[in-house]
């Protein structure tokens, strides 16, 4: 049997399709352009998970399923099992409120080793089990079959090793900031500081190429997201060019774009997109009449926990008596605040999801309801029963298919979020130009952000060459990436 070409999955955080196209047109991204010219650029992009924040989307890319199965619900969430907030790094100020050691432990260790269910395999685990050599640079979801200890190369990582005293399971070759390094290289990331992460990823990936250490490589390029948060989505061409340089240096090490692409299949994908932020919402203002749980506080008399995550938010009901009757009250309070676009919750009595806005309410559930309206299909061919105002999603029926240009793949994305066992009881999506301030009081006003259900945040870039798509429909999801990779290697 002929061995398949090596495959590089390049995840460019927050890569906006219009900015990717501009970078190609202006000659700022020659490596990415070589991939597009050799293969396929997906017009219309790829839909993110909802909330369209990095931990949720990384889970979908790395496992091929949404959070109803991978259970990572947001950037900030409340663990009912541990009765505490989980914070994956919304900002330095938010991490300070929750505690740096706790935040780092949740992000670096618990996300993979505890929060991600053991029975949901990652792309690394399935490939490792099939004998495919796996490798990865700094990425939130890295779980594989190889044991890795905290690196002892630097004084700070030796201190971290003394603090954590634990190992992780990752791909065969793992380079996670300077915390994990499966072998010595000349590459340093300054402990994963923004602006250094792409450079570190390109350095270690080129080292692995030169020493033939992988068949599959996840090349994580996160600095575009940081740049866009600060300068706005329309400043992305500069950060896209910097990301492109890391793939280009791999191509040079292989003898140029042609020889590299003769030996490699490549997927370039964004986990989500970015929208401009002009104003902020303080989530607590919507729930001033409720007793809100503070960071690191005991439950006590708290009635709700609030979890802002950029342009999305979640509300957890902490009162058990009448818990399922409270979400409609919370949704009504939220929609009374300027800047909140949508509120979503489950009706457990009817097993339906509800999406509400100032335009009305839409009820939906997978499959058809024999006693309700005829079922409709979404662009991926999934059937749904739908009842209420389609205007809530700016949607319409076209030849029996429910289409929403404003909120792509909305029903599947919202259903996965609502039925995720670790999600809040009410989910919120911010309106155009708005963002929820995090628990540290930080926002990205004047820059860019993401998280909402809206198209501006939720449709990212996808281009590939040397690999076949996993389906024959036209609607792409980031959850299609893992199946593409498994299919490429015959897994």
Residue 165: pLDDT band with limits 50, 70, 90: low
Q: How confident is the model over 53-68, as a mean pLDDT?
A: 98
What's the confidence (pLDDT) of residue 315? 98
What is the mean pLDDT of the segment spanning 324-333?
A: 94
- pLDDT tens digit sequence for 343-399: 999 998 889 999 999 999 999 999 866 566 668 999 888 999 999 999 999 999 988
- Look at residue 324 in the predicted model and tell me its pLDDT: 85
Cα angle, residue 132 at apex, residues 119 and 112 outer, rounded to 5°: 35
**pTM value > 0.85:** yes
Classify strands 340-347 and 426-430 as parallel, antiparallel or unpaired.
Answer: antiparallel
Q: Where are the domains of the chain?
A: 6-72+116-276+454-488, 279-443
> Per-residue pLDDT tens for 431-484?
999 999 999 999 999 999 999 999 999 999 999 999 998 776 678 999 999 999
What is the 3-state secondary structure of the chain?
A: CCCCCEEEEEEECCCCHHHHHHHHHCCCCHHHHHHHHHCEECCCCEECCCCCCHHHHHHHHHHCCCHHHHCCCCCEEEECCCCEEEECCCCHHHHHHHCHHHHHHHHHHHHHHHHCCCCCCCHHHHHHHCCCCEEECCCCCCCCCEEEECCCCCHHHHHHHHHHCCEEEECCEEEECCCEECCCCCCCCCCCCCCCHHHHHHHHHHHHHHCCCCCEEEEEECHHHHHHHHHCHHHHHHHHHHHHHHHHHHHHHCCCHHHHHHHEEEEEECCCCCEECCEEECHHHHCCCCCECCCCCCCCCCCEEEEEECCEEEEEECCCCCHHHCHHHHHHHHHCCCCEEEEEEEECCCCEEEEEECCEEEEEEECCCCCCCCCEECCCCCEEEEEECHHHHCEEEECCEEEECCCCCHHHHHHHHHCCCCCCCEEEEECCCEEECCCCCCCCCCCEECCCCCHHHHEECEEEECCCCCCCCCCCEHHHHHHHHHHHCCC
pLDDT of residue 162: 52
pLDDT tops 80 at residue 221: yes
Query: Can you tell me which residue has the tokens 């839909």?
Result: 47
Predicted pLDDT of residue 398:
87
**Which listed CATH number (3.40.720.10, 3.90.76.10, 3.30.379.10, 2.30.30.170) goes with 6-72+116-276+454-488?**
3.40.720.10
Percentage of the chain beyond pLDDT 70 is 94
107/112 Cα distance (integer angstroms): 8
The yes-or-no verdict on residue 412 having pLDDT over 50 is yes
pLDDT above 80 (res 194)? no
Provide the pLDDT for residue 226: 96
Distance CA 335, CA 195 (A): 38
Question: Whose CA is closest to 305, among 440, 314, 289?
Answer: 314
Q: How confident is the model at residue 155 (pLDDT cuts 50, 70, 90)?
A: very low
Mean pLDDT of 330-339: 96
Q: pLDDT, tens digit, for every residue of 239-296?
A: 999 999 999 999 999 999 999 999 999 999 999 999 999 999 999 999 999 999 999 9
The answer on pLDDT for 161 being more than 60 is no
CA distance 169 to 457: 32
Spatial contact of 15 and 247, defined as CB atoms under 8 Å apart: no
Q: How confident is the model at residue 166 (pLDDT cuts 50, 70, 90)?
A: confident
Which of 55-59, 184-188, 335-339 comes out lowest in average pLDDT?
A: 184-188
- For residues 477 and 61, is the Cβ–Cβ distance under 8 A? no
Residues 391-403 pLDDT 10s: 999 999 988 889 9
Q: Mean pLDDT across the chain, nearest whole number?
A: 93
């Amino acid at each position: 049997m002929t061995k398949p070409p090596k495959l590089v999955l390049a995840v460019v955080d927050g890569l906006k399709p219009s900015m990717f196209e501009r970078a190609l047109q202006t000659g700022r991204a020659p490596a990415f352009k070589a991939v597009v010219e050799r293969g396929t650029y997906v017009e219309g992009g790829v839909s993110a998970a909802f909330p369209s924040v990095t931990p949720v989307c990384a889970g979908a890319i790395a496992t091929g399923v949404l959070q109803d199965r991978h259970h990572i619900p947001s950037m900030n969430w409340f663990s009912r099992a541990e009765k505490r907030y989980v914070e994956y790094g919304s900002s330095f100020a938010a991490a300070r409120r929750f505690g740096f050691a706790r935040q780092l432990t949740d992000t670096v260790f618990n996300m993979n080793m505890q929060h991600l269910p053991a029975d949901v395999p990652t792309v690394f685990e399935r490939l490792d089990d099939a004998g495919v050599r796996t490798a990865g640079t700094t990425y939130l979801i890295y779980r594989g079959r190889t044991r890795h200890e905290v690196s002892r190369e630097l004084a700070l990582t030796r201190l971290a090793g003394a603090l954590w005293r634990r190992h992780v399971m990752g791909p065969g070759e793992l380079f996670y900031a300077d915390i994990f390094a499966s072998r010595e290289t000349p590459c340093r990331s300054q402990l994963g500081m923004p602006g250094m992460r792409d450079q570190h990823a390109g350095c270690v990936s080129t080292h692995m190429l030169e020493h033939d250490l992988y068949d599959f490589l996840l090349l994580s390029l996160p600095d575009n997201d940081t740049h866009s948060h600060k300068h706005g989505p329309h400043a992305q061409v500069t950060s896209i060019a910097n990301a492109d340089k890391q793939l280009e240096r791999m191509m040079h090490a292989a003898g140029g774009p042609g020889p590299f692409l003769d030996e490699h299949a490549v997927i370039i994908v964004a986990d989500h997109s970015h929208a401009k932020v002009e104003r902020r919402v303080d989530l607590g203002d919507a729930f001033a009449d409720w007793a809100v749980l503070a960071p690191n506080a005991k439950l006590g008399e708290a009635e709700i926990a609030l979890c802002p995550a950029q342009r999305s938010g979640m509300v957890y009901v902490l009162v058990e008596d009448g818990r399922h009757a409270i979400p409609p009250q919370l949704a009504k309070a939220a929609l009374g605040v300027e800047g909140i676009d949508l509120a979503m919750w489950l009706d457990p009595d009817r097993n339906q999801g509800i999406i509400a806005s100032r335009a009305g309410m839409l009820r939906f559930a997978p499959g058809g309801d024999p006693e309700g309206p005829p079922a409709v299909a979404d662009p991926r061919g999934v059937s749904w029963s739908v009842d209420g105002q389609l205007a809530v999603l700016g949607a319409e029926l076209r030849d029996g298919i429910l289409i929403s240009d404003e909120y792509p793949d909305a029903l599947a994305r919202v259903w996965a979020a609502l039925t995720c066992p670790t999600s809040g009881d009410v989910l919120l999506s911010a309106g155009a130009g708005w963002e929820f301030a995090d628990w540290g009081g930080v926002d990205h006003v004047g820059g860019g952000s993401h998280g909402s259900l809206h198209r501006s945040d939720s449709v990212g870039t996808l281009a590939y060459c040397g690999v076949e798509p996993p389906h024959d429909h036209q609607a792409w999801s980031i959850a299609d990436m893992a199946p593409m990779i498994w299919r490429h290697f015959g897994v």
